[in-house]
Structure 1
Amino acid sequence: MSFQRSYLDPSPDLSTPPPSPWRARAEHIRRRPIRLRQAAFLLTAFTILCTFVYLSRHRQSDSYTYDDWIDIADRRVPLQSLQEPNLPLPPQNGHDHRPQHVPGRTPQLIEDHAIRPQVDVSKLDHSDTHADAVAVAAPAPAPEPIVFSLIMFSEDSANEGAILMKSILMYTSKPVEFHVICDEGAQAYLEKRIRLITRPTRNILVRFYRLTFDDMKRRIEREGAIVSDHSAGTPGLMKLFIHEILPESVSRAVFIDTDAFFITDPALLWDRFSSFKPDTAVSMPYHPDQSNEGWHHANRICSCIMLLDLARLRKFRLMDSSAYRAAGAPALAPAAFEAMFGAPGDDGKYEGVKLGDQGYWWAITSQMPKVFEHLSYDWEMSSCLMDMYGTGLGDDARGLEEEGRRQVHTLDTPQEGETVLPKMLHFNCLDGAPNYYEWDGWSDPQNSLGQRWQHAVKYHAGFKWLWLNAHKPMGTLTIETQEKVVFADELFAQRQAVGPRESA
């Protein structure tokens, strides 16, 4: 905007400069009477200003969260120090409702680490018409743990088993329980590594069941007719007695051989239990395309991984015992054994049984199919089938159909027409090394198995236990040892002895 020069520079002919047009306009407005439109404008402006100030103060008051009182994110106050498991509502209308210390109240650990306000409905002011509904938040139930039962005797066995346990903790989305049937050497090896986890992401329970060879032999003798010529020997036969070794409080468990490891969340495997049929007690991979008459075709299953409904196995009374025979309580397995192997020989043992415990499991599952269900090959990428279905690392853009067309060992099986998607790798039948991860084939550039899977093996074997520690402590680690194992048939005999005395 520009002005005439006469308004800027005083004229030499005038004693005083002319009045500014802005001043003249303001003076004119001041002398005019207030009109209704102007009054309405001023009143509206004042109302808007007051409303803005009020809302600003109200929003500032309501912006407080529990993190203002207890900085859970930074864990400045440990979870164990929270004195009130049910914290009150956040501050409202500027009032401070911070939780107060209650003397004598035992601190409780919040499992899911989320603070959920609790509302006492009986104390609500039902005259408050502004509240449409009140949500009463109940504590979320603790997630069900994934339960594993593993067998490890000797440090060499624990060398491999440690990688399996490590992989489970690497990928799990749920708490984990390990029930490890072992000797003193295996426990010492495992415990040294497990105790490196000082800040577990989720709750971990490790319980060692210490068995001596004499304990195992006595149980086999009470069964009376089984024997093993497999390299796993007597400890391998314990796979038939897991339901007798673990307490009745453990109703289900996953068994896996030590020469395997997960490459995905084991919770996906645990979910398979939810689809079991009413009579199903065991699930493992089934390969009807495999055949070996000398083994009674026991290679058609793999007891390397088993989903065991331990409660049903106890109910069926799977394995025989002199204690059961004395009480006239028949067991499930003897009829299946005799149907496949014939009556025991002159030495009282079944003849021609191959592959150790797997031979006996095959007799049970093939003679009594109602107790058995197939488990997807996704969970048994076995190197005994050296092609491992023809899949491996690499070519990450390959589609599902193309991947399925390239796979082998699936025709005439339950997996026919369904692409195998590896979730657990099993490196068995690798001769020449005490442990699968030391196999010479991993460094052989011409070996097909080594080319496809060596990087997975090296990564999981080399992953450090220390790396399993979380940034913030969110779970607990519990390690227990059961020094003396009492088999279920021994408990049965004890109860039978007590029964007659009580009735007398």
Structure 2
Amino acid sequence: MFSENSAKEGAILLKSAIMYTSRPLHFHIICDEAAIAYLESRLHLLTHPVHPVVVRFYRLTRQSMADRISREGSLNTGHAAGYPGLMKLFMHELLPDDVEKAIFVDTDAFFLTDPALLWEEFSYWGPDIAVSIPYHPNLAIKEWYNASEICSCIMLLHFQKLRSFRLMDSSIYRADTSGLYPPALAPPTFTALFGPPGPNGYHHVALGDQSYWWAIVSNRTELFHPLSYDWEVTSCLLDMYNTRLGADGTTEEEERRAMVHLEDTPYEGKVVLPKLLHFNCLDGDALYYNWPDWSKPEVGLTIRWKAAVEYHVGFKWLWLNRGRKKFPMDVQVVLNPKFADERFAEAHPDKISKSE
């Protein structure tokens, strides 16, 4: 979360997870000072949650981001998210090594159900799986190298596995003489999709980190497990699979017949049961809940989900104090966290070739 606006959206995501959770929650937030200030103004209202909540802020400078991308050597992006967006490729490096796995969700989304159900998806993985992302083979767009077939807006990531094969490259890793690790996994997948990098890096990477994740999972399919569309009901599809609030007596067969955008996908013939709403691709305001068309009752997305947006935005943080026991809030700020390649260089100075 880089900026107060991203924190305003992200606060609703955090709030929804706390509303519905059946387990303790740990939030790891890579962010700037503005985001910390806004989120702390909300978190201090939380004194009696049903389950303990731990929050770790990792305050990262833009220079630190730029330096890590420079050490990778070839990353480029045409996406508006810029360097902060590319940090989605480095979360396993920034978070402590004892964080084995994590759920990533974009800030412009919120849960409709218990996030523990999403965490349980890890238990269904095979031994080689390291990444789970929604997969849409029916949404291929060639000028985007078909990176539109996934959405890195929500990902399940096994950080320990990503660390074990050094997902992202670094000049430090290229100078590592220890022999303890194989060459970084990502570069050959990037070259396979985009071709070799030029002087300014890979060309036409229009979707930022999503393009790079697509290069990784499409070329190393043994690491990839598609995530159910239940967890990605997205406003990029304004009809949202044609599911909506209302008609509470709808049968499964009626819902199945109404579904759209499922042809030629792993979920053809199934019913999407919304568990997380993602309000991306809405133009007109920096904050999705201020989208101008929410005021137009005839707009399809407004008909389907305006009530859900208003409820989750308006649900007071004070109302989350539903527990009988007072939990001390565990909120800490990690200043200027170091990336894994920097920590490796500090721990093994004798293993780094001086020529690099």
TM-score in terms of structure 1 length: 0.68
1:498 Cα deviation after fit: 4.8
Asked if 2 retains the 8 angstrom alpha-carbon contact of 1:202 and 1:474, the reply is no
> Larger C-alpha radius of gyration, 1 or 2?
1
Asked if 2 retains the 8 angstrom alpha-carbon contact of 1:289 and 1:412, the reply is yes
* 1:331 counterpart = 2:180: no
1:392 Cα deviation after fit: 0.3
Query: Which residue number corresponds to residue 216 of structure 1?
Result: 65
1:474 Cα deviation after fit: 5.3
Query: Where do 1:238-249 residues align within 5 Å?
Result: 238-249=87-98
Query: Which residue number corresponds to residue 438 of structure 1?
Result: 290
* 1:195 counterpart = 2:44: yes
Amino acid at match of 1:259: D
Query: In structure 2, how many angstroms separate the alpha carbons of the residues matched to 1:476 and 1:171?
Result: 20
1:199 Cα deviation after fit: 1.3
Q: Which residue of 215, 223, 229 corresponds with 1:363?
A: 215
Query: Where do 1:29-428 residues align within 5 Å?
Result: 152-327=1-176, 329-345=182-198, 347-428=199-280
Query: In structure 1, how many angstroms separate the alpha carbons of the residues matched to 2:29 and 2:159?
Result: 15
Q: Residue 139 of structure 2 aligns to a residue in which SS?
A: coil
Instruction: Go from structure 1 to structure 2 and tell me whether the alpha carbon gap of 1:256 and 1:471 turns closer, same or farther (over 3 Å shift).
Output: closer
Asked if 1 retains the 8 angstrom alpha-carbon contact of 2:22 and 2:116, the reply is yes
1:353 Cα deviation after fit: 1.3
Asked if 1 retains the 8 angstrom alpha-carbon contact of 2:47 and 2:327, the reply is no
Q: Residue 169 of structure 1 aligns to a residue in which SS?
A: helix
Query: Which residue number corresponds to residue 494 of structure 1?
Result: 346
Q: Residue 216 of structure 1 aligns to a residue in which SS?
A: helix
* 1:464 counterpart = 2:316: yes
Query: In structure 2, how many angstroms separate the alpha carbons of the residues matched to 1:448 and 1:348?
Result: 42
Asked if 2 retains the 8 angstrom alpha-carbon contact of 1:291 and 1:300, the reply is yes
Amino acid at match of 1:208: F
Asked if 2 retains the 8 angstrom alpha-carbon contact of 1:298 and 1:354, the reply is no
Q: Residue 29 of structure 2 aligns to a residue in which SS?
A: strand
TM-score in terms of structure 2 length: 0.96
User: Which structure carries more relative contact order (alpha carbon 8 Å, separation 6+)?
Assistant: 2
Question: Deviations for 1:384-408, whole angstroms, at most 9, x for unmatched residues?
Answer: 0111100100000001111011010
Question: Deviations for 1:309-350, whole angstroms, at most 9, x for unmatched residues?
Answer: 0000001110000001011551000000000101111x1401
Question: Deviations for 1:35-82, whole angstroms, at most 9, x for unmatched residues?
Answer: xxxxxxxxxxxxxxxxxxxxxxxxxxxxxxxxxxxxxxxxxxxxxxxx
Asked if 2 retains the 8 angstrom alpha-carbon contact of 1:442 and 1:450, the reply is yes
Query: In structure 2, how many angstroms separate the alpha carbons of the residues matched to 1:275 and 1:391?
Result: 26
1:496 Cα deviation after fit: 2.4
Asked if 1 retains the 8 angstrom alpha-carbon contact of 2:89 and 2:168, the reply is yes
Query: Which residue number corresponds to residue 93 of structure 1?
Result: none
Query: Which residue number corresponds to residue 145 of structure 1?
Result: none
Q: Residue 348 of structure 2 aligns to a residue in which SS?
A: helix
Q: Which residue of 281, 305, 310 corresponds with 1:453?
A: 305
Asked if 2 retains the 8 angstrom alpha-carbon contact of 1:199 and 1:469, the reply is yes
Q: Residue 289 of structure 1 aligns to a residue in which SS?
A: helix
Asked if 1 retains the 8 angstrom alpha-carbon contact of 2:233 and 2:277, the reply is yes
Q: Residue 254 of structure 1 aligns to a residue in which SS?
A: strand
Question: Deviations for 1:444-493, whole angstroms, at most 9, x for unmatched residues?
Answer: 01101101100000000011000000251254420011112010011111
Asked if 1 retains the 8 angstrom alpha-carbon contact of 2:51 and 2:323, the reply is no
Query: In structure 2, how many angstroms separate the alpha carbons of the residues matched to 1:213 and 1:474?
Result: 37
Moved over 3 A (4+): none
Asked if 1 retains the 8 angstrom alpha-carbon contact of 2:102 and 2:158, the reply is yes
Query: In structure 2, how many angstroms separate the alpha carbons of the residues matched to 1:499 and 1:298?
Result: 37
Asked if 1 retains the 8 angstrom alpha-carbon contact of 2:85 and 2:208, the reply is yes
Q: Residue 41 of structure 2 aligns to a residue in which SS?
A: helix
Query: In structure 2, how many angstroms separate the alpha carbons of the residues matched to 1:499 and 1:359?
Result: 33
Query: In structure 2, how many angstroms separate the alpha carbons of the residues matched to 1:444 and 1:484?
Result: 44
Count, aligned residues: 348
Query: In structure 1, how many angstroms separate the alpha carbons of the residues matched to 2:140 and 2:147?
Result: 8
Alignment root-mean-square deviation, CA: 1.1
1:499 Cα deviation after fit: 5.7
Asked if 2 retains the 8 angstrom alpha-carbon contact of 1:200 and 1:477, the reply is no
Q: Which 10-residue stretch deviates more, 183-192 or 328-337?
A: 328-337
Amino acid at match of 1:344: P
